Structure 1
């Protein structure tokens, strides 16, 4: 058992508190990682606020990068000293995992949002009681216990501090384009929302050789960054009707749309702006029970709405590809990142919510 610092969430909407906890040794198939850095994701904040009812107290964080400290029995893909990125949990046993689609794991919710490891127990403790984990990693801490299935070995010639967000937000946005939509060369795409996920989708669309890439946001500085990252057109909804402007730019409708904002009215726009045969991808995660109203006749004319989890990515295959694109200068995700210390986690969270920072990353190691 190891004593470590962690940012603990004790109650709904409460500030993160830097406190001492203990962490168990890795069990069979598990890995102990010394955290170097971790991104803060929108999902961490909505869990803090209990839109998703993960049991508390908990240590959140699910975009960790670090160095393998120790491995449990049976672990063969990594060894102490390896650099790793940590991503989502999957069971490895269900039909979807066995068919190579772990992002669609039948136990995805249980493994990532119920606060325990696969065996139903906790690895984190404080003052004699369990502290719940999150996404099978709880990376807002100096150390993390994860399943071997969560970790992705990464090269040592790329700064480890940068890589954590590849495990969720950046993988999600770029993967929605590259893994799920797989747009045709020369096609058109619109991205609603220019946060970390949306801007990653912009970069993915450029990699996929879309020739009309439309970015939509209220924040002008984010729209400027979207242009720098590959957007050919930008729209600020406070200045114009987004659907009408998209139809004007594309001559009748866009081939693909991605909705990242979690707002039902924006999802409606993402569907309404599609051309015939168009596809709309839903990424934004609103509170449980959120409903949306769509015109059935719009969908009837060969348009589709698709939900996407974690960019439909197999992290062990997709994250190394993103790193290689980054090394080639084709996927400059570092432009989204601003660093904070672990002790600055509440300021970093506030900056994320206010839009001051696109992707906060806590430097821990």
Structure 2
């Protein structure tokens, strides 16, 4: 069945987001409709509104959400009405070379669903009947959303929805960069550049993995204080030092792992330069397509340094999302503390402004639409 839903929409790059009433069509084969309970406000959503991530408007935003299944399409056997699920902006076909070799985050068919569903269509329409694109095959910054089952993961229904939502991007991206991409060894020294939602989760990933020193690097004193709350042992304010990489090296002698969580070439360079011999720099932030990074080539073989990327924390969503929520339930990951403030959908523009101002660890839009 079709449903009317309030949704956060980008109509034009460089303009504030709008809250509109849209139509969400019911599920087709291998799809489910979800009543969204909570959706995190992520920098990637912001990047979609500026054109940094060039998804074509009009675009229903949102990729980091949790909700309840209210309708299943033909052929769906792994989900039923009432299941709690989180969204995944990575489509996982399960059949391509990358999926079969255990790297679904690199699914070769995922790019087909960057701003629509895997079949190339959408289930979202504006007031005049125009199709609306959806962020990362999701478009979950809305009261209802219809997703392909490849973009959904069933989760424990005892976890608060606003916490579960964050696992689908911020937590997975940060913690996964530590666990899956870097495979940080206990007793290591680490630095995290950029202390937003992802950076904070990289920090607590380092804590859980057993790092002995964790240096948080940012220009915002509020965020550096948050970093301490999540386990950073040292902080570097880039406004107070001449060279952030040298400051990190002075503290640590050179880190074993550096995580770049900004998405900027110069910051990648600083993260790489902060490494000690044999160190690994992991680029987590989403950079502008035209952005570049310059390195001293000889340092790669001479110091046996490694530079690698991490996309959604090298996730295997079906395995990693429940695993991370299990760590939260065991008291080993902080999710409650990540949610600095919740917003009704009518205050979506304010949530974006607060994110830009660096006020929140994570702002979350919470919905109260009754199940129908």
Taking structure 2 as the reference length, what is the TM-score of the superposition?
0.94
> Is 2:364 the partner of 1:358?
no
**What does residue range 33-48 of structure 1 map to in structure 2 within 5 Å?**
33-48=34-49
Match of 1:242 in 2: 244
CA-CA distance at 1:89 after TM superposition: 3.0
Match of 1:160 in 2: 161
**1:140-195 deviation digits (Å, cap 9, x = unpaired):** 11101111121111112221122212101211011000111111110111100111
Match of 1:332 in 2: 334
CA-CA distance at 1:247 after TM superposition: 1.7
**What does residue range 119-134 of structure 1 map to in structure 2 within 5 Å?**
119-126=119-126, 127-134=128-135
Q: 1:99 aligns with which of 75, 98, 101?
A: 101
Segment of structure 1 superposing worse, 61-70 or 156-165: 156-165
CA-CA distance at 1:233 after TM superposition: 1.2
> Is 2:284 the partner of 1:283?
yes
Mind listing any 5+ residue stretches in structure 1 that lack a counterpart? none
Match of 2:310 in 1: 308
Q: Distance in 2 between matches of 1:325 and 1:356?
A: 26
SS of equivalent residue, structure 2 residue 131: strand
**1:187-214 deviation digits (Å, cap 9, x = unpaired):** 1111001110001000000110011111
Please provide the CA RMSD for this pair: 1.3
**What does residue range 213-232 of structure 1 map to in structure 2 within 5 Å?**
213-232=214-233
Segment of structure 1 superposing worse, 326-335 or 186-195: 326-335
Match of 2:325 in 1: 323
Work out whether residues 15 and 49 of structure 2, in 8 Å CA contact, stay in contact via their aligned partners in 1: yes
Work out whether residues 112 and 120 of structure 2, in 8 Å CA contact, stay in contact via their aligned partners in 1: no
Work out whether residues 217 and 237 of structure 1, in 8 Å CA contact, stay in contact via their aligned partners in 2: yes
SS of equivalent residue, structure 2 residue 323: helix
Mind listing any 5+ residue stretches in structure 2 that lack a counterpart? none
SS of equivalent residue, structure 2 residue 134: coil
Q: Distance in 1 between matches of 2:178 and 2:322?
A: 17
Q: Distance in 1 between matches of 2:150 and 2:342?
A: 27
Q: Distance in 1 between matches of 2:17 and 2:272?
A: 38
Work out whether residues 191 and 259 of structure 1, in 8 Å CA contact, stay in contact via their aligned partners in 2: yes
Q: Distance in 2 between matches of 1:198 and 1:188?
A: 16
Work out whether residues 226 and 361 of structure 2, in 8 Å CA contact, stay in contact via their aligned partners in 1: no
Match of 2:54 in 1: 53
Work out whether residues 216 and 232 of structure 2, in 8 Å CA contact, stay in contact via their aligned partners in 1: yes
Q: Distance in 2 between matches of 1:131 and 1:303?
A: 44
Q: Distance in 2 between matches of 1:128 and 1:226?
A: 46
Segment of structure 1 superposing worse, 127-136 or 197-206: 127-136
Q: Distance in 1 between matches of 2:121 and 2:247?
A: 52
SS of equivalent residue, structure 1 residue 200: helix
SS of equivalent residue, structure 1 residue 271: helix
Q: Distance in 1 between matches of 2:87 and 2:230?
A: 25
**1:238-265 deviation digits (Å, cap 9, x = unpaired):** 12232222222223x1111000112211
Q: Distance in 2 between matches of 1:69 and 1:265?
A: 46
State the aligned residue count.
Answer: 362
- Runs of 4+ displaced beyond 3 Å: none
Q: Distance in 2 between matches of 1:247 and 1:65?
A: 40
Q: 2:347 aligns with which of 344, 347, 365?
A: 344
Segment of structure 1 superposing worse, 78-87 or 1-10: 1-10
Match of 1:296 in 2: 297
Q: Distance in 2 between matches of 1:24 and 1:83?
A: 20
